[in-house]
Structure 1
Amino acid sequence: MEVKSYKHVNYLWDEDKAKSLEGDEVALLLYRSNLLGSDLRITNYGGGNTSCKTVDKDPLTGEEVEVMWIKGSGGDIGTLKKSGLAALYVNRLRNLENVYRGIDHEDEMVELFNHCIFDLNSKAPSIDTPLHGFLPFKHIDHLHPDAAIAIAAAKDGKEITQKLFNGTIGWVDWQKPGFDLGLQLRECLEQNPGIRGIMLGSHGLFTWGDTAYESYVNSLDVIETCASYLSEHYGKDRPVFGGQKIESLDADARRLQAAKLAPVLRGFCSSERHMIGHFTDDEKVLEFINSADLDRLAPLGTSCPDHFLRTKIQPLVLQLDANEDLGDLEEVKAKLSPWFADYRAMYTEYYETCKHPNSPDIRDRNPVIILYPGVGMFAFAKDKQTARVAAEFYINAINVMKGAEAVSEYTSLPRQEAFNIEYWLLEEAKLQRMPKPKALSGKIALVTGSAGGIGKAIAKKFVQEGAVVLLNDLNEERLASAKEEFVELFGKDAVATAKLDVTNEEQIETALAEAALAFGGIDIIVNNAGLSISKTIEDHTQKDWDLLYNVLVKGQFLVTQGATKVLKAQEIGGDIVNIVSKNALVSGPNNAGYGSAKAAQLHLSRLNAAELGSARIRVNVVNPDAVISDSNIWAGGWAEGRAKAYGVSVEELPAYYAKRTLLNEIILPEDIANACFAFVGGGLNKSTGNVLNVDGGVAMAFVR
């Protein structure tokens, strides 16, 4: 088989892999889908749809029937597995035409798809199902390639398509996906027999083939033709996007400016619910936001429904100079406030003007995409993945605008059509079926010393409850290992990392900036990083003393100080939880430095709680005792020192600590994590300045 060469898409077909799947058309469908979905130029996360038709035995009659396997509702072709497919009887699906009551009754057809299910383990069929069902081809790709949509969204896209493909690609004008569009695709094919695909106005591309490979190559060929045509026209008749209007800051300056501004933007965007952010200064973004045409094109919004659903009706463009001094955050907020007010008013007017009697209630009025000329693009959404994907889709939209403007004039969806997609009752039903947010959804946590022991357990608990975390540690090897573990458990969007010495102000500032760039800001700070030294008063050195007070007391102070600036910039409150110790309250031998430093941490927590309450920042304390598992605190002679103080061996320490408690329990890192979650999980939002002992019950450590 000849390996094709492409310039604008990736040819990834592996003949040996494909041969191993011969005879299993569904497996070949999945293989083809995953290849196509791996290239964002072809289709973005969750976008597009693929299908194949097979002949199977009807389990009830034993007769051979034609079955269509198609990506189910809410799936992603890049990661598609068989469990994400819907399988339907083709004849039953096509027979639904007999009960179809017309375009005004589109939505009722979706429930009827369930009567066509062949495989009872099917995913729910998507709205695209009839688009594939009414075409006769064995393998079909419905994709959203930037290059094809650029032509589909051009003012004279139909004529360009006809000329570019010499009539071998059909055209169907914009129509909301559904049963009627499926009938229109069939009609287009009947009127243009022999075509190799169909362009959907403002929407995307349909291509097909008799085999998985033929469909794959056909899709790549059509996309390559579109992309090559656009490439030939970039800058030919006019500069791209009208030419450059302003220059970008250099890369380091962009990131610095973005890190300063992100928490402020997040605060505005979180006026209705906590949002997670994403920042990118991709070259494609910079070309667009620095251009002369930005102010003309940005308000038009996007054309493809998949782009629009994730990026909202239009972005907010900041009228800030790239070199704006962001030192005085109150001045910055004063500038931004009317822009956000105007955006919310615009979105409200859009909703009120376009709504139908049965439209769902208006959703969040804040922007999803925010453009900062000279700096980059911010996206804010309910979680990191949604924010990142929204940014990726807007880059797709930029590519579409660039291509359409190069060959014609870009046209977006009319606002009423856009509204009909955004507030479609079927979309609302899909939203309602989504799992309810977890307790920490939309929250960003920084747990110091979180590459192991108590810190890692806390970070893990927070992610399990919906948060995203900035893992950090002094030991970069340990940090890398922890990140790998978290990515494997929770995915790449749940975690970012930063090397952090809590006594180093510059590293603290860098870590907080990384949290701002990765997620938009911070909500929860857990001061957990620590160490311990157990020596008699005679043996204690000034070096020991300084180290303990630097890490435990000064470290807690510096991290809290830095985090407070971010929390106040956001103006949405927050939590600071300090991991202190039973030793802050209980006197014991060989413990002068550690115990007194822990007492200082405890009182510093009270002082911070008293000061920060007016900003809705809660400060609480968890007092552990004897958490031995996976803890650095037991390294460096501490275990030996405590064993000596109590007259037991190191091996006997866990049992010794358990026996002296009221509950006779060994304390684990997970126990401390649960206590931290109790403070930040929403049930204690009106509680600050508290101490929660997690020590198995040590009477001498009772606060009262």
Structure 2
Amino acid sequence: MNAHSSNSTTERTVAADLIARSNRLGSDPKNTNYAGGNTSAKGTAADPVTGEDVELLWVKGSGGDLGTLTEKGLAVLRLDRVQALKNVYRGVEHEDEMVAAFDYCLHGKGGAAPSIDTAMHGLVDAAHVDHLHPDSGIAIATAADGEELTARIFGDKVVWVPWRRPGFQLGLDIAAIKEANPGAVGTILGGHGITAWGDTSDEAEANSRWIIDTAEAFIAEHSKAEPFGPALPGYEALPEAERHAKAAALAPVIRGLASHDRPQVGHYMDDPRVLDFLAAAEHPRLAALGTSCPDHFLRTKVKPLVLDLPADAPVEDCVTRLKELHEAYRADYQAYYERHADADSPAMRGADPAIVLVPGVGMFSWGKDKQTARVAGEFYLNAINVMRGAEGISSYAPIDESEKFRIEYWALEEAKLARMPKPRSHATRIALVTGAASGIGKAIATRLAAEGACVVIADLNLEAAEQVAAELGGSDVAIGVRADVTDAAQVAAAIDATVLAFGGIDLVVNNAGLSISKPLLETTEKDWDLQHDVMAKGSFLVAKAAAKAMIAQEMGGDILYISSKNSVFAGPNNIAYSAVKADQAHQVRLLAAELGEHGIKVNGINPDGVVRGSGIFAGGWGAKRAAVYGVPEDELGKFYAQRTLLKREVLPENVANAAAVLTSSDLSHTTGLHIPVDAGVAAAFLR
């Protein structure tokens, strides 16, 4: 084996061991939160230029998640250069310079950008270092007497580090503490989390787990019986069905409030720990204190909005009070910003809450997409766990508000946000598509998801709907629901499922349909009723239920009908289908006129001859239409294409393209329109 291959093997081994440790620690939420904390390993490798051995630092880079970390999520730096930065460090007033300096310490190309915590790993004299955010550790870190508790719980094996903003100075502090305490295996970082180390990867992991488990066991043994105080009469959790019904009624209203500055996607959580917190007497005081760990409040804001009404308060009263509290929250956040901002501070990013707590119902969390909203909720659950632990053995004392502001409006955080990619056309939009498990509906759902929307796949076939949702990316992107659009209760349940999954609803596509191709004298009353129940009545029920939620949101919206060229074209042997398509087409005009005052656009698409992938054509309609026109069924698509002006076959994706454009901001001023997607059928021109 030559020197280069040996070098590569060494690097791969160090990286592989670090990734394995990181994944083990990060996969258990008791050890750290999503995307929270970082791990590192030091080792020797040959410099590819000089051939000489150099000391390297492998460390989880900025923005990664320990539980899912891969090699590309690591930053690799020259250890001698990282440690040499001590010679140019100008003090805490110049912390931000040091993050840029890490770029000059990188070993080769590729990998992740070094994070603010790189100094902690590079300066501490240990081969392996873990920095984690366990609930049990942060409970000690945020206890009013955390320093005394640290000594009591851990003896001289774990040392207290007073709060300091993450950065180079914190790395120097921990390095000095380790040097002064040779028997220590880690630290409790005041207000923040833990750091542990070891001579081997296994030893570092074992020390991390020992600190976490020891803190957890101490809290369990010594905690008072009611850390959040006695039960608050009337604030106990509602029964599940009642709880979810109230959550579904409130979600669109809360989304509208949380989207005052910019549209947000939501996540609803009714975890028992959230409900227990809201049912206890001390929850208003504790919620007002806000979160402490930087990873928490960067995602949850400094504190939540808490509805101060009992669980059984009528929805109407809750709506009125939430609107009042929202105004007060915005004013309070503006005052918080003005108290601490200076001439160099980034502009205020928005004053709406990221977390809204409703006693008896649960928690609504908000973000730029579903994952961000879900993670914000998970972080606030972490904060509740932290408060329970701290209150159980002491009292909860988070870091000062001024320190929270310094991190929330840190120039480095602003730069990180500025590097985010431009949102896609349908980002933050929440769509429900009926008949979406196949054909045109599936194509539309796929296109909307590709453009950044969250999508609910509604279909009679639940298994197929769930399969499509999984293909689109799973529950952070899409969910599948069963919905018979002829049944008002099932339609209402589908809308409720939408707002509970994603916080609200912006866009509905009335696509569910079927077709019966018969001449007048063979068309039965049952045929007629079935066609009209599914497409006329079904579209009406879906539009009505969706419009109610959209109006409550006060964010506008889109209702889109997939009609047909048959709505204006008179063809043979098609009385029931064509008549119901004309009904749908006029629903577009009627609803556009009625809902415009609420900012809701209503438009239609008139496809023709969409054979490939169509559930309708596959269900017998294709064979009947082929018989009418005297062509083989497998040639029907080509036949339809040849009768068009453009001589092109119409595919589901062509209809999906039109749906994406009609519901985008590019056509924000268009309503009551029908767009033909038929490759040009002159007899169906709109006039």
Which TM bucket (shorter chain)?
Answer: over 0.9
TM-score (norm 2): 0.97
Q: In the TM superposition, what are the counterparts of 1:148-163 in structure 2 within 5 Å? A: 148-163=137-152
Shift of 1:334: 3.1
The corresponding residue for 2:454 is: 468
Alignment-derived partner of residue 660 in structure 2: 677
Matching residue's letter, 2:645: L
- The residue that corresponds to 2:298 in the other structure is 309
- The answer to whether 1:257 aligns with 2:246 is yes
Take 1:378 and 1:477, find their aligned partners in 2: how far apart are those partners? 28
Which amino acid counterpart does residue 363 of structure 1 have in structure 2? R
**Mapped pair 1:233 → 2:222:** yes
Task: Provide, for residues 213-267 of structure 1, a one-character-per-residue CA deviation record: whole Å limited to 9, x for no partner.
Answer: 222222111110000000112335xx22112213211111111111100000001
Q: Which moved more, 1:602-611 or 1:333-342?
A: 333-342
Q: 1:432 & 1:89 partners in 2: Cα distance?
A: 28
Aligned to 1:399: 385
The aligned runs of 1:347-496 (5 Å cut-off) are 347-486=333-472, 490-496=473-479
Q: Given the alignment of the two structures, is residue 296 of structure 1 paired with residue 285 of structure 2, yes or no?
A: yes
C-alpha displacement of 1:548: 0.4
**By how many angstroms is 1:336 displaced?**
2.2
Deviation at 1:22, TM superposition (A): 11
1: CA distance, partners of 2:10 / 2:254: 49
Is the 1:202–1:412 Cα contact (8 Å) retained in structure 2? yes
Determine which of 240, 243, 247 is the counterpart of 2:230: 243
Q: Is 1:570 the counterpart of 2:553 in the alignment?
A: yes
Q: Given residue 310 of structure 1, which amino acid in structure 2 is its aligned partner? A: R
Task: Return the alpha-carbon distance in structure 2 between the equivalents of residues 325 and 415 of structure 1.
Answer: 35
Q: Which residue of 2 aligns with 1:4?
A: none
Q: What TM-score, normalized to structure 1?
A: 0.95
CA separation in 1, counterparts of 2:166 and 2:665?
A: 40
Cα distance 1:214–1:21, how it changes in 2: closer, same or farther (>3 A)? farther
Query: What is aligned with 1:10?
Result: none
Structure 1 residue 332, shift from structure 2 partner: 4.7
Give the aligned CA root-mean-square deviation in angstroms: 1.4
CA distance in 2, matches of 1:193, 1:149: 24
1:117 and 2:100 equivalent?
no
CA drift of 1:559 comes to 0.4
Is residue 280 of structure 1 aligned with residue 263 of structure 2? no
The offset of 1:37, in angstroms, is 0.9
1:304-353 per-position Cα deviation (integer Å, ceiling 9, x unaligned): 11011111011111023312222x5xx65433222101000000000000
Alignment match of 2:495 (pick from 487, 512, 516): 512
Structure 2 residues not aligned, in runs of 5+: 1-8
- Mapped contact 1:311–1:369 kept (Cα < 8 A): yes
- Cα distance in 2 for partners of 1:101, 1:396 equals 35
CA distance 1:309–1:23, shift in 2 (3 Å): closer
CA contact (8 A) 1:537 1:592 kept: yes
Aligned equivalents of 2:633, 2:507: Cα separation in 1: 35
C-alpha distance in structure 1 between counterparts of 2:143 and 2:485, whole Å: 54
Quote the offset at 1:485 in angstroms.
1.5
Segments of 4+ moved more than 4 angstroms: 20-23
What is aligned with 2:588? Answer: 605
Amino acid across the alignment from 1:536: P
Q: d(CA) in 1 for partners of 2:319 and 2:184? A: 56
In structure 2, give the amino acid aligned to 1:698.
Answer: V
Are 1:593 and 2:576 an aligned pair? yes
Instruction: State the partner residue of 2:172.
Output: 183
**1:491 offset after TM fit, Å?**
4.3
Secondary structure of the equivalent of 2:605?
Answer: strand
2:614 aligns with 631
Aligned to 1:640: 623
Number of the residue aligned with 1:14 = none
Asked whether the equivalents of residues 267 and 366 of structure 2 are also in contact (C-alpha less than 8 Å), the reply is: yes
**Equivalent residue for 1:192, pick from 178, 181, 194:** 181
> Quick one: percent identity of the two aligned structures?
51
Matched, 1:66 2:55: yes
Following superposition, the deviation at residue 23 of structure 1 comes to 7.6
CA deviation digits over 1:257-294, x for unaligned, max 9?
Answer: 11100000001111111111111110111111111111
2:320 paired with 1:334: yes
State which of 652, 657, 677 in structure 1 corresponds to 2:635: 652
1:21 positional shift: 11
Bigger mean CA offset, 418-427 vs 336-345: 336-345
Counterpart code for 1:675: A
Alignment of structure 1 residues 92-171 onto 2, 5 Å: 92-171=81-160
Per-residue deviation, 1:468:
0.3
2:650 aligned counterpart, secondary structure: coil
Post-superposition CA distance 1:343-370 (Å, at most 9, x none): 0000000000011210000011000111
Matches within 5 A, 1:556-567: 556-567=539-550
Instruction: Name which of structure 1's ranges 375-384 and 475-484 shifts more when overlaid on structure 2.
Output: 475-484
One-letter amino acid of the structure 2 residue matched with residue 39 of structure 1: D
Q: Is the 8 A contact 2:309 2:318 kept in 1?
A: no
> What is the aligned residue count?
677
The Cα offsets for residues 37-81 of structure 1, whole Å up to 9 and x where unpaired, read as 111111111100011111111122111011101111111111111
Distance 1:217 1:665 in 2: 66
SS at match of 1:522: coil
Judge conservation of contact 1:168–1:196 (CA < 8 Å) in 2.
yes
